[in-house]
Amino acid sequence: MNPVVQKNRLHIVQGRFDVSDRPEVVMSTILGSCVAACLRDPVAGVGGMNHFLLPGSATAGAEATRYGVHLMELLINALLKKGARKSRMEAKIFGGAQTMTRISNVGEQNGIFAERFLQDEGIMVIGSSLGGSFGRKVEYWPVSGRARQSTLTGAETVRAVRQEQPDAPRPAPVNDVEFF
């Protein structure tokens, strides 16, 4: 878990996740090629977000927190502990951009992994924004399921991902999209 907390805002950095059943809480993250899965059980009134760097799973050790399988399982298990049922969970997934053209498209692989994982687990994806060439700032209200995405330009994405600290200045968003 270990999100960065500011009042009722939880900033989820790479390799982390958190869950909440408090309606006033908003979770946020900055994504480039990484993916954030936002899951909730609307009946139990609980939801959460993760932020993974790489698709699949690690063999062992501290590296595991960078991988999708590990963080998806941690998020689902934390929701179950708060009274959620997997059969009622719904998901919104974000990220997976190709922010640097000279590097392999790990963003696309992250997006494909997230969609496949959720399908295999029987969790319905009710909204997604994957791919493209720009990063995103994502805000998620885990109890209501409301999500908002701000698209960042290429230079802003690189700068924001490098500065992913709670008190670092954030670049201004280019486009805002609301996901209800």
**Domain CATH code at residue 36:** 3.30.1330.200
Give 170's DSSP letter: P
Q: Strands, E, within 69-174: which ranges?
A: 90-95, 124-130, 136-140, 147-151
Residue 1 has pLDDT above 60, yes or no: no
Q: What is the pTM of this model?
A: 0.81
Report the pLDDT value the prediction gives residue 120, as an integer from 0 to 100: 96
Active site residue 38: no
Residue 59 has pLDDT above 70, yes or no: no
Q: Given 26, 34, 71, 78, which residue is catalytic?
A: 34
Q: What whole-number percentage of the chain has pLDDT above 70?
A: 76
Residue 65 has pLDDT above 90, yes or no: no
Q: Tens of pLDDT along 4-34?
A: 556 799 999 999 999 999 999 999 999 999 9
| CA distances (Å), origin 116, targets 27, 106, 111 | 24, 15, 9
The residue range of the domain holding 61 is 4-179
Report the pLDDT value the prediction gives residue 169, as an integer from 0 to 100: 38
Rounded CA separation 37/48 (Å)? 8
Residue 174's pLDDT band (cuts 50, 70, 90): very low
Cβ atoms of residues 158 and 103 within 8 Å: no
CB within 8 Å of 63: residues ≥ 6 apart: none
Report the pLDDT value the prediction gives residue 103, as an integer from 0 to 100: 62
Report the pLDDT value the prediction gives residue 153, as an integer from 0 to 100: 72
Q: Tens of pLDDT along 128-159?
A: 999 998 899 999 999 999 999 999 875 655 55
- 96 or 101, greater pLDDT: 96
Q: How many domains does the chain have?
A: 1
Report the pLDDT value the prediction gives residue 113, as an integer from 0 to 100: 94
Report the pLDDT value the prediction gives residue 95, as an integer from 0 to 100: 95
Residue 55 has pLDDT above 60, yes or no: yes
Handedness of CA 72, 75, 76, 77 (dihedral sign): positive
